[in-house]
Amino acid sequence: MLVLGVETSCDDTAAAVWDDGTVRANVVSSQDELHEEYGGVVPEVASRDHQRLVVPVVQRALEDAAVDAAALDAVAVTHGPGLPGSLLVGLSFAKAFAQGLDVPLVGVNHLEGHVYSVDLDPPAPDRPFLCLIVSGGHTELVRVGSDFQHDVLGRTRDDAAGEAFDKVAQLFGLGYPGGPAIDRRAARGAPTFQDFPRSRLDDFDFSFSGLKTSVLYYLRDRSDAERERLLAEHLDDLCASVQAAVVDVLVDAVRHAVGETDAEQVAVVGGVAANSSLRRRMEAVGDDTGIDVSVPDLAYCMDNAAMIAQAGAQRLAAGHASPPTLDVESNLQL
Ligand code: KG4
Ligand code: ZN
């Protein structure tokens, strides 16, 4: 089955061609530079840019895959959660495209797409497995069963892990998105330089807003000269300290959940799963505990349409095609 995946939930315009489990093309056009001067995604700017990019990005994917649109069997598209104006561009395009080709349309939950990204990079975990979804908008610990049963064990009560990286990076003057910049600098810094808070909540819920506030106060409570010196001489150390705080919390939660649920397989997905320290530490969890740990290839951690096509194809196989009245759901949950 040949499936076109389309993803426009935030600031990346993405299209992919999926061919029975093989990704034949995976095109992502990032708007990072557009949003950098604002320190985050500006919804109006994002939706306009999706409108400009969606057709050329889909064309590029079809060309890369050497596939004629007429050969497609289905179109899978993200219909939530995300920015309403951004989702609407992808969904409107996908509806019209599917209708023009007279093929089924399937709406995909963006978070389910991230979960299914583990199947793109074999060996895919058997169900059930424990999945940590960590992105710019979400931090959720989920037990993934078969037949699209997702049991949410916990989620963030305030900021997402990626949001914490992005907000702290802004305080450090590192631009947007902040995760990759912090990751690169942290590799050269000392994680013990400053002890930033690691919030541990009773259940499997997360909280990262305290970390951002703590960094804010750490910088604010110093003289201008001292702050400048710290940022000039110890930025790598500060990045390493922040990264250690976020990664400690995530790894602890996974270890705890493994103990509580007898999970035999764990996956970490989403943009923050690209973090080099988190990847290393999760590998170590696998080595210590003997459980299988899957972390997708970097290209499938960040927002992409291959994961949307993968999840959509599974849904179609289970008879879950969407009606032409499918609408965006900006607050869609798992
Ligand atoms: O999954 P994603 O591409 O988009 C959302 O669905 O939100 O995740 C984007 C998030 C951003 O917050 C970005 O800073 C973070 O993932 N991120 C990272 C790294 N690469 C991306 N965070 C930490 N380390 C990285 N290497
Ligand atoms: Zn995402």
Nearest CA to ligand 1 atom 7: 136
Contact at 8 Å (CB) between 12 and 31? yes
Contact at 8 Å (CB) between 276 and 247? no
SS3 267: strand
Q: What pLDDT sits at residue 44?
A: 87
Q: Ligand 1: distance of its center to the CA of 165 in Å?
A: 8
Q: Ligand 2: distance of its center to the CA of 106 in Å?
A: 18
Contact at 8 Å (CB) between 303 and 7? yes
36 falls in which pLDDT band (50, 70, 90)?
Answer: confident
55-102: pLDDT as tens digits: 999 999 999 999 999 999 999 999 999 999 999 999 999 999 999 999
C-beta of 81 in contact with ligand 1 (< 6 A): no
Structure tokens at 146: 């078969």
Q: Ligand 1: distance of its center to the CA of 247 in Å?
A: 13
Nearest CA to ligand 1 atom 1: 271
Q: Ligand 1: distance of its center to the CA of 133 in Å?
A: 11
107-130: pLDDT as tens digits: 999 999 999 999 998 778 999 999
Gyration radius (Cα) of the chain, Å: 20
Stated pTM of the model: 0.96
- Ligand 1 closest atom vs CA 161: 12
Would you tell me which CATH number, out of the four given (3.30.420.40, 3.60.15.10, 3.40.50.720, 1.10.260.40), belongs to the domain 126-295? 3.30.420.40
- H or E segment at 144? strand 139-144
150-198: pLDDT as tens digits: 999 999 999 999 999 999 999 999 998 999 999 999 999 999 999 999 9
Report the C-alpha gap between 259 and 25 in whole angstroms: 39
313 Cβ neighbours under 8 A, 6+ residues apart: 1, 3, 18, 74, 76
CA distances to 27, 74, 96, 155, 317 from 102, in Å:
24, 9, 10, 39, 17
Report the C-alpha gap between 54 and 307 in whole angstroms: 17
- Ligand 1 closest atom vs CA 270: 1
Ligand 1 pocket test, pick from 117, 168, 302 with the greatest ligand atom count within 8 Å of Cβ, gives 302
* Ligand showing the shortest atom-to-Cα distance for residue 302: 1
Report the C-alpha gap between 181 and 160 in whole angstroms: 17
CATH of domain 2-115+300-317: 3.30.420.40
195-210: pLDDT as tens digits: 999 998 878 999 999 9
266 pLDDT higher than 90: yes
Residues of the chain with pLDDT > 70, as a percent, come to: 100
Chain region(s) in the chain for CATH 3.30.420.40: 2-115+300-317, 126-295
